[in-house]
């Protein structure tokens, strides 16, 4: 089970805020502007959506973007800031939490 305080600032490409009623707003971005989607953001969002879905205090989720477009660019970046070992370790940890 995830808790908002544990993941609120854990994702550099997602700005999260939640009302006392459980309305969670996720604004996806790259450096505060529109999101540029790549392998790194993909990895982040898998973990982000898992945390959001595992938090029983989230009642409604609003997914939005920053800048003048939600996302109008995808890079073919093959590298990632995560090594295969780090990705595997996160996946194992996530499976254990479930």
pTM of the model: 0.75
- Here the tokens at position 4 are 């908002």
| Beta carbons within 10 angstroms of residue 63's beta carbon | 13
Predicted pLDDT of residue 80: 47
84 band by pLDDT with thresholds 50, 70 and 90: very low
As a whole number of angstroms, the distance between CA 72 and CA 61 comes to 22
Whole-number Å distance between alpha carbons of 70 and 91: 28
Q: Specify whether the CB–CB gap between 71 and 34 falls below 8 A.
A: yes
Residues 35-67: tens digit of each pLDDT: 999 988 989 999 999 999 999 999 999 999 998
At residue 70 the predicted structure's pLDDT band, cuts being 50, 70 and 90, is confident
If one counts every other C-beta atom within 10 angstroms of the C-beta of residue 88, the result is 11
Q: Specify the pLDDT at position 77.
A: 59
pLDDT score recorded for residue 92? 52
DSSP designation for 9: T
Q: Which two tokens stand for residue 6?
A: 């544990």
């Amino acid at each position: 089970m995830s808790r908002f305080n544990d993941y609120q600032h854990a994702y550099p490409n997602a700005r999260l805020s939640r009302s006392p009623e459980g309305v969670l707003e996720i604004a996806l971005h790259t450096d505060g502007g529109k999101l540029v989607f790549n392998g790194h953001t993909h990895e982040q969002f898998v973990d982000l959506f898992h945390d959001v879905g595992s938090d029983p205090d989230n009642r409604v989720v609003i997914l939005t973007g920053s800048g003048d477009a939600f996302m109008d660019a995808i890079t073919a970046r093959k590298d990632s800031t995560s090594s295969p070992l780090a990705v595997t370790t996160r996946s194992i940890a996530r499976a254990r939490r479930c």
